[in-house]
Structure 1
């Protein structure tokens, strides 16, 4: 995947028309690349800082910062694998060794792995739905920055996100909810992109009764 380059004028400044075209191209080029299709190298320290920094531009009603991200380094992957396996066995005590191995393997796939967490308590005047929207915007900013830097990315969930073991491992507070994992890496293989829905499928105009 080629890194997206922002257009610039001869003077080095981005003009509005070119910036709009570049932003549209970036948004349309973003697609999900599953963790099993991501390989090393992942973002380096500076690139990861740029990706994480993009989250700070998300809308945040009340400036609550109702989300956070936890990086899962290589040394912590076995502990996460234990959580995945234990969660599977809690749901299905008869799970086979092969199924347990498959559950564990998910912790080791992506070169860079983060857990997205939302804080839904406190400040009752700002509904939980608004906090989740803010977290979603932060994630989308990160996905777009990763795409701009030439990396593949994916958001993944699963029943283990709701397990007590995962809550303990990531020291989630009572008011916090694990939303999804964010995986980043170099695209090793890709599938055909799904067709984007047309605007007519999700846009309508308010009709006011006469």
Structure 2
């Protein structure tokens, strides 16, 4: 691409960023992304900053036909945390797996100190252990934001969901998470059925200071 950014592209990027809002999966319905749209959305993740080119994250799509497996994991995770959970609470936990037409799990690939303790550096690139977990999570966050913005540009709504189930052994087993891997959140994508009033954004003075 030409290194010179046109005013039109700058205006589009600003409008895209500032018009994106989180949409609850309850307000996402079919149709979800088409196969071609999905390839565009997922391809955007690869543009995230990635120190050492480690790709310290991955995503696992949960097809609608297999959502019952995720529903089981959510329900059992709640029962593990709270043996006194009511049937209604368990049903609510299970129902979360079925809301959006498209759902995938975002997984961070964090350092495994046992496996990486003796890993030598690769030529001019940093050793995997030298790229800390905070930096890896930043990379994942950027990959997720790229996904959200691309879906928004295609006219789709997106929402992130998490909760205590992300740390459940039930979820780890279902998704085959390895040592150092951590489930971070679910990414939900679909068509927006009802929009809410956008939340207020913080002013730059609220989060900017000078050294």
Matched, 1:73 2:73: no
- SS of equivalent to 1:179: strand
Q: Equivalents in 2 of 1:106, 1:25: separation in Å?
A: 31
Q: Which runs of 4+ in 1 moved over 6 A?
A: none
Aligned partner of 1:89 among 40, 64, 79: 79
Q: Equivalents in 2 of 1:22, 1:16: separation in Å?
A: 10
Matched, 1:179 2:179: no
Aligned to 1:194: 199
Q: Equivalents in 1 of 2:82, 2:75: separation in Å?
A: 10
Aligned partner of 1:33 among 23, 47, 52: 23
Give the C-alpha shift of residue 190 in structure 1.
Answer: 1.8
Aligned to 1:142: 147
Give the C-alpha shift of residue 95 in structure 1.
Answer: 1.1
Aligned partner of 1:43 among 25, 28, 33: 33
Give the C-alpha shift of residue 171 in structure 1.
Answer: 0.2
Aligned pairs, how many?
193
Aligned 1:128-167 pairs, distance under 5 A: 128-167=133-172
Aligned-residue Cα RMSD (Å) equals 1.0
Give TM-score, length-normalised by structure 1: 0.90
Aligned to 1:6: none
Q: 1:100-122: CA deviations, max 9, x gaps?
A: 11111000000000000011124
Q: Equivalents in 1 of 2:184, 2:163: separation in Å?
A: 10
Q: Equivalents in 1 of 2:138, 2:104: separation in Å?
A: 19
Give the C-alpha shift of residue 97 in structure 1.
Answer: 1.0
**Structure 1 unaligned spans of 5+:** 1-13
- SS of equivalent to 2:130: coil
